[in-house]
Structure 1
Amino acid sequence: MNLNSTGSQPTSIGEARTRYFNREISWLSFNERVLAEASNAAYPPLERLRFLSISGSNLDEFMMIRVAGLAAQVRGQVPKLSIDGLTPSQQLTAIHAKVRELEQSQQAILQDLVPLLADCGIHLAMADAIDPAAEDWLRQYFLDHLVPVITPQAIDPAHPFPFVANQGIGTLFTLTRIDDGSTLVEMVLIPNAIPRLVRVPGERPSYIAVEQVISRYASLLFPGFRIDGHGTFRVLRDSDIELEEEAEDLVRYFRSAIQRRRRGRVVLLEIDQGFDPVAEQLLIDQLAVDQPTINRNAGLIGINGLLEVVAEDRPDLKFAPYAPRYPERILEHDGDCFAAIREKDIVIHHPYESFEVVVDFLLQAAADPHVVSIKQTLYRAGNQSPVVAALISAAEAGKSVTAVVELKARFDEEQNLKWASELERAGVQVIYGFVEWKTHAKISMVVRREDNAYRTYCHFGTGNYHPQTARVYTDLSFFTADPSLGRDAAKVFNFVTGYVEPQETELLAISPLTLRDRLYGLIDREAEHAAAGRPAAIWAKLNALTERGIIDRLYAAGQAGVKVVLVVRGICCLRPSVDGLSDNIAVKSIIGRFLEHSRIWAFGNGHTLPSEHAQVFISSADAMSRNLKRRVEVLVPILNPTVHSQVLEQVLLANLIDTEQSWLLDGSDGTYERVEASGDGFNLHEYFMTNPSLSGRGGALADSRVPKLKLRRGAV
């Protein structure tokens, strides 16, 4: 295969469409799989409702970022083609059609869940189906809690059209004054502080959308008027922040940009299916939207609001609680993280093993008189961050503490500005990294004085330093005192904080400098093994695969005889199992109780996988152009034999052989088909939840207690 210097194979538009799937349509297919879990009869009812809500939140973000970006390209007449050769306009046409299908499916699934939840004592009520016994309570709630905070506003030349915030919901009423017959249009915007759903108390609680409550008692809001019609609408706005390279002060720029984002261009207008035509046209004119960006909804608008119902205190309707284990290796050293890491590298598998060990690593560093410095990247840390608290404690204890806070973490910009301010006040040296690149690498680096010398302890993660997401995202935390990795980590920090580009590294590959070429070389090397008649295989676990150079090299490797198995949770632009193109490549996606988030690569290295001779890596980067070209990321080789075995023969292999949460990608049309589990099906989440400390285990747990996994023929 003739690849150019960037790893991409020149193709015509027609060839591109037969070689690659569209990125945006592939993402929508991923959200379809998330939505399908809301119909999974094996899940408790409130968990199914949770998946329905998540599918709504996912779709909102997609519209506010991806669709907004494509719409901007159309307005600017940007002739950029997608990987499969579509123009921005062509993509938008396909996206809007697919989004309408998704929203219809969401409403249909909600209608299926309503009677199921009712049987369990939770009512999702429509305005015309309120229990008469609750009528008085609901009317009083309207008068006491809603009337004081909502503001009806007439829409006429004397009253400018009010601003509707991003994700804002409102109701338009068409009214006739009873005494003189004059007509009027009134808007009621629903403040963010009001719960999305009103909970009517009782032994069998009912939930009703707040806009339905307002419409139900609108006559109390508009005395002297006849209500001729009403309709609810919801607005999504362009929420992307385009960073200007000439920005002199990143903090000031982002504070201003966050404000501008709230007033971004409308990218989607959702309206009731029976919306009053006069009011609808008024909205369209005032919000400056066109027909493709209007979705007419026959059910609940803003389906992500259902998450409020999931919070209902009904553990019997949710997954059984799961308490993460604390790593046995650390406990064997009386909780001393540094003693355990000094003895041997450790890998921790979240959420099965507690994120507390990462926090303890930093807390112990903060309190340890022998620790002289801590360096930490922060991409997403959550709104209550023990990691930030540990860094503040370290600075207040006199340690030299550096925090690389990424202001460009989408939708976390405001929270990260807050953390940066608090860290600076405590004496932490806060760095914001590059203007044009995001710092996405997950690294903690602790330098400790030992035996008249310095030892560096490192944590490399595949996920964020975020205690909330660590409970539901599957990620790996790798702790090491390997001097080579410590020196490389220091170079990464120097690169970000001082723009000192490392001339070479000993073990790490760093994006955007060397990581892409390192992966290219590893894939090409595997193809050489196959060409030489040696066993050759590639296994990878990713969140997304969109980078053309990686895809083309995987095609070439497969054609050379390399067996390629990919676990790609979300977007996948590669077409697997296509005759003459990707016969040796299989792609699966896993959607289940936990969100698969870790990134792992394994290369047979001339041996059949799994093998102790394989080259195994973990990474913060997905196989996307943005990760390989516009972000600071790291690719970490796993050299310790025990950790190597745990990552390859437990974590990665379990993903490959899962049958109960897996979907197979059809390379011919981009559809996914759920794997039909046999009687001896394998559920990787249950496996790791029920087996003791598979990764951070110590000598107290005999290997015999850990079931040996085997790659079964036909698993993928």
Structure 2
Amino acid sequence: MDSLAAQTFGDSDVPASRATQDRIELPDFEPTLGPEGDFALDRFLDREISWLDFNARVLELAEDPDLFLLERVQFLSIFASNLDEFFMVRVAGLKRRIATGLAVPSAAGVSPRDQLDHILEAAHQLQRRHAKVFSEQVRPALAAEGIAVTRWGELDEDARQGLSRWFTDQVFPILTPLAVDPAHPFPYISGLSLNLAVVVRNPVSGKELFARLKVPDQLPRLISVDGPRAGHTPGRPARFIPLEEVIAVHLEHLFPGMEVVEHHSFRVTRNEDLEVEEDDAENLLQALEKELLRRRFGPPVRLEVASDINPAVRRLLVRELGVEEEEVFTLPAPLDLRGLNVISGIERADLHYPRHLAHTSRFLNESETSKAANVFAAMRRRDILLHHPYDSFSTSVQAFLEQAAADPKVQAIKQTLYRTSGDSPIVDALIDAAESGKQVLALVEIKARFDEQANITWARKLEQAGVHVVYGIVGLKTHSKLSLVVRREGDRLRRYCHIGTGNYHPRTARYYEDLGLLTCDDQVGEDLSRLFNQLSGYAPRSAFKRLLVAPRSLRSGLIDHIEQEIAHRKAGLAARVVIKVNSMVDEAVIDALYRASQAGVQVDVIVRGICALRPGVPGLSENIRVRSVLGRFLEHSRVFAFGNAGQPIVYIGSADMMHRNLDRRVEALVRLSNREDIAELVSLLDRYLDPGTASWHLDNAGVWTRHHKDADGRPLTDIQSWLLDSRSRQRGAARR
């Protein structure tokens, strides 16, 4: 950890060697053989393979014929986007560590080179499966619904003429062919760009030449043949054609006087993870902007080529790009299926999940006759636990900040911003508050991966409006989701707080599953004041009452609770641990859960993505179950529940169980105090874990199995649909 970060968040009461101590206290266990009889179990699963397993679960949704067709298309697009980011960050980082000699065996005991080989082998299988799902399942199903991804040769003459006119007017002027010859070196190929490798022949000399043509990324990936509104109603056909195919049939316009011999599509993925040495940067904004420019020139980590590519052209690309053979992915056209989001956005209600409307929390509607509830009055009545997208973000968190900005009694607003939208009403509220004379502090995390440029833009806009903008602590990302509003009420100042599991992003709040707490509890207010003072100033010895804060006390605090459950179990009292996170990787936390299992404590982990914990191993983790839930909403909340001898303790917050979250980020969990809220979340977790709820189960060999139908073939309960129905029932009951 950076020395300044360690100084700021250092905690002399927590032994630095604790994680190591936790691991070596575990007794040895007998390894179990896998299905082939030759797989010796380590106590940790490989995190990178576990991530690929997560993306395979996304692909399983695309393969599900019972799912709404355009949702299957969307899952195909999500899979492709996920894998791109995995290569840009995780594979690129591993290759960089191997090249510099800094790579060490993983926690699962796999050597870096073997780990990279396993990743590439699994990724090849997944990409082939992905392409097959599209070509053999989804594409024919779309055609049956009158939605075609077509080829030029399948179009009628009118459609061809229309596309040719469109090409001449809208595409040709922005294309730039780049020749490769002694006077023109091989051009730079930008990351994630789709390209055409073109071979042309001089009809006079007969010499063949190579050229590269970039497919413009400012145009839609799939072009609607019949106009922008085609396919919006059942029975009306909608035809789409890949943009590169339209360009390919008009290549003679780009090479007049030359004979076009052949063309092939290809795509490069590069290392796009940022490295900013903050200690040496006088101005973090300027350093990050320079690094963003360098991002486009990272080394390649994957080359995708169409399966019909000429071997000679393939060899040329491999040589000039400097990729290894195992990094070349040969796939059927079209490449880059992220572009399927054009089709998934078609307005066909019969092919999508039923439209849902988020409802205002019943506690914000209490005793209110106006359309916009007074959020402050509601918070004074009780803590308000929010569950998005089932509870409306706009009428709760957004309304909280907008009302704070407009309220003359509000003296100050302090806010963290990790990711937000381009038209953010949250940012607008902070600007309005500053312009009206309120003290406004915004902690903008400009290192939020792939949102860096947007956050730099917002940081400058906020500064220009008079908002005090800070960028957190050197060496740490600020990932916590916090709002603090200070309001004068009579002769006292009252602090109103929001602590959440998700970003202050109104758009993603409509499809990310997240939790949030609105409270004016004095202890929480004091905790947030201390935490914001740490983030904007110097307060290295702050102590918290209702919060666990990383990197100082979050890991150790959770492990202490797990140890307490072990003590309860040994004393014959009720003991249980339930954790819901996006990722479970941290070895110290996993080892603590193993100790709990060995003591007889029932441990349940609900994880969306990566899980390095190996459940169900005799002598190690036979009392641990791991489940995963994926669906129309992205499961994003983090919940930590402990049985506590019949008096459950529940935390919610921003932290996943990963090294980066616990050691290199500022994260915050808040302990709930309202018994009704605690009971609601415990009941919700039980619903996730119920055998009648659809989910994936992880076994001790690291294999995920989908459980979505009962023994009679009837579908199990989809918890997200159940929660939507539950909110509708609550709203109906309230009206009656």
The TM-score, its normalising length taken from structure 1, stands at 0.93
The yes-or-no answer on 1:413 pairing with 2:452 is yes
Q: Is the 8 A contact 1:327 1:693 kept in 2?
A: no
**Aligned AA (2:530):** K
Which residue of 168, 185, 189 maps to 1:160? 185
Deviation at 1:66, TM superposition (A): 0.3
Partner residue, 2:701: 668
C-alpha offsets along residues 473-503 of structure 1, whole Å, 9 cap, x if unaligned? 1101100111001000111101111131243
Partner residue, 2:5: none
Deviation at 1:653, TM superposition (A): 2.4
Deviation at 1:8, TM superposition (A): 4.0
The yes-or-no answer on 1:95 pairing with 2:109 is no
The yes-or-no answer on 1:172 pairing with 2:172 is no
The CA distance in 2 between the partners of 1:68 and 1:14, in whole Å, is: 35
Partner residue, 1:353: 391
Partner residue, 2:246: 213
Partner residue, 1:305: 339
The yes-or-no answer on 1:479 pairing with 2:518 is yes
Identity %: 40
Q: After superposing the two structures, state which structure 1 stretch, 94-103 or 134-143, moved more.
A: 134-143
Deviation at 1:210, TM superposition (A): 1.2
**Aligned AA (2:352):** K
Q: Is the 8 A contact 1:511 1:632 kept in 2?
A: yes
Deviation at 1:4, TM superposition (A): 6.4
Deviation at 1:78, TM superposition (A): 1.5
Q: Is the 8 A contact 1:619 1:636 kept in 2?
A: yes
Q: Is the 8 A contact 2:41 2:701 kept in 1?
A: no
Partner residue, 2:72: 48
- Listed as ranges, the matches of 1:189-268 within 5 Å are 189-201=214-226, 203-244=236-277, 245-268=279-302
SS at match of 2:703: coil
Deviation at 1:658, TM superposition (A): 6.6
Which residue of 77, 92, 100 maps to 1:76? 100
Deviation at 1:305, TM superposition (A): 1.1
Partner residue, 1:709: none
Q: Is the 8 A contact 1:153 1:186 kept in 2?
A: yes
Partner residue, 2:375: 337
- Listed as ranges, the matches of 1:287-306 within 5 Å are 287-306=321-340
Which residue of 16, 19, 42 maps to 1:18? 42
The CA distance in 1 between the partners of 2:732 and 2:346, in whole Å, is: 42
Which residue of 23, 26, 29 maps to 1:9? 23
Q: Is the 8 A contact 1:491 1:502 kept in 2?
A: no
The CA distance in 2 between the partners of 1:589 and 1:32, in whole Å, is: 12
Partner residue, 2:143: 118
Partner residue, 2:58: 34
SS at match of 1:9: helix
**Aligned AA (1:298):** P
- Listed as ranges, the matches of 1:652-691 within 5 Å are 652-657=685-690, 659-677=692-710, 679=714, 681-691=716-726
Deviation at 1:262, TM superposition (A): 1.2
The CA distance in 2 between the partners of 1:99 and 1:131, in whole Å, is: 38
Structure 1's 404 and 337: CA in aligned 2 closer, same or farther, altered over 3 A? same
The yes-or-no answer on 1:544 pairing with 2:583 is yes
The CA distance in 2 between the partners of 1:370 and 1:571, in whole Å, is: 45
**Aligned AA (2:390):** Y
Q: Is the 8 A contact 1:327 1:354 kept in 2?
A: yes
SS at match of 1:148: helix
The yes-or-no answer on 1:507 pairing with 2:521 is no
The CA distance in 1 between the partners of 2:715 and 2:216, in whole Å, is: 51
The CA distance in 1 between the partners of 2:427 and 2:165, in whole Å, is: 44
The CA distance in 2 between the partners of 1:640 and 1:367, in whole Å, is: 29
Partner residue, 1:141: 166
The CA distance in 2 between the partners of 1:79 and 1:225, in whole Å, is: 50
Structure 1's 330 and 669: CA in aligned 2 closer, same or farther, altered over 3 A? closer
Q: After superposing the two structures, state which structure 1 stretch, 392-401 or 183-192, moved more.
A: 183-192
SS at match of 1:524: helix
The TM-score, its normalising length taken from structure 2, stands at 0.91
C-alpha offsets along residues 396-443 of structure 1, whole Å, 9 cap, x if unaligned? 111100000001100010010011011101100001001211101101
Deviation at 1:654, TM superposition (A): 2.4
SS at match of 1:642: helix
**Aligned AA (1:155):** V
Deviation at 1:545, TM superposition (A): 0.2
- Listed as ranges, the matches of 1:374-523 within 5 Å are 374-523=413-562
Q: After superposing the two structures, state which structure 1 stretch, 413-422 or 73-82, moved more.
A: 73-82
Q: After superposing the two structures, state which structure 1 stretch, 465-474 or 311-320, moved more.
A: 311-320
The CA distance in 2 between the partners of 1:700 and 1:305, in whole Å, is: 43
Aligned length: 693
SS at match of 1:500: coil
The CA distance in 1 between the partners of 2:391 and 2:637, in whole Å, is: 14
The CA distance in 2 between the partners of 1:37 and 1:384, in whole Å, is: 31
SS at match of 1:501: coil
Partner residue, 1:605: 644
Structure 1's 660 and 299: CA in aligned 2 closer, same or farther, altered over 3 A? farther
Q: Is the 8 A contact 1:509 1:515 kept in 2?
A: yes
Partner residue, 1:554: 593
Q: Is the 8 A contact 1:660 1:676 kept in 2?
A: no
The yes-or-no answer on 1:596 pairing with 2:635 is yes
The CA distance in 2 between the partners of 1:368 and 1:700, in whole Å, is: 33
**Aligned AA (1:150):** L
The CA distance in 2 between the partners of 1:340 and 1:371, in whole Å, is: 16
Structure 1's 459 and 248: CA in aligned 2 closer, same or farther, altered over 3 A? same
Q: After superposing the two structures, state which structure 1 stretch, 595-604 or 135-144, moved more.
A: 135-144
Which residue of 301, 309, 317 maps to 1:283? 317
Q: Is the 8 A contact 2:496 2:519 kept in 1?
A: yes
Partner residue, 2:35: none
The CA distance in 2 between the partners of 1:673 and 1:661, in whole Å, is: 8
Q: Is the 8 A contact 2:42 2:109 kept in 1?
A: no
Q: Is the 8 A contact 1:617 1:637 kept in 2?
A: yes
SS at match of 2:212: strand
Q: Is the 8 A contact 2:50 2:610 kept in 1?
A: yes
Partner residue, 1:714: none
Q: Is the 8 A contact 1:660 1:677 kept in 2?
A: no
**Aligned AA (2:243):** V
C-alpha offsets along residues 207-256 of structure 1, whole Å, 9 cap, x if unaligned? 11111222223234333333322211111111111121322211001111
The CA distance in 1 between the partners of 2:243 and 2:364, in whole Å, is: 50
**Aligned AA (1:389):** D
Deviation at 1:17, TM superposition (A): 5.2
**Aligned AA (2:18):** S
SS at match of 1:227: strand
Q: Is the 8 A contact 1:63 1:267 kept in 2?
A: yes
Q: Is the 8 A contact 1:592 1:661 kept in 2?
A: no
Partner residue, 1:104: 128
RMSD (Å) for aligned C-alpha atoms:
2.1
The CA distance in 2 between the partners of 1:131 and 1:99, in whole Å, is: 38
**Aligned AA (2:564):** R
C-alpha offsets along residues 58-97 of structure 1, whole Å, 9 cap, x if unaligned? 0000000000000001111124221101122111100001
**Aligned AA (2:674):** N
Q: Is the 8 A contact 1:510 1:634 kept in 2?
A: yes
Structure 1's 540 and 358: CA in aligned 2 closer, same or farther, altered over 3 A? same
Deviation at 1:130, TM superposition (A): 3.0
Q: Is the 8 A contact 1:26 1:670 kept in 2?
A: no
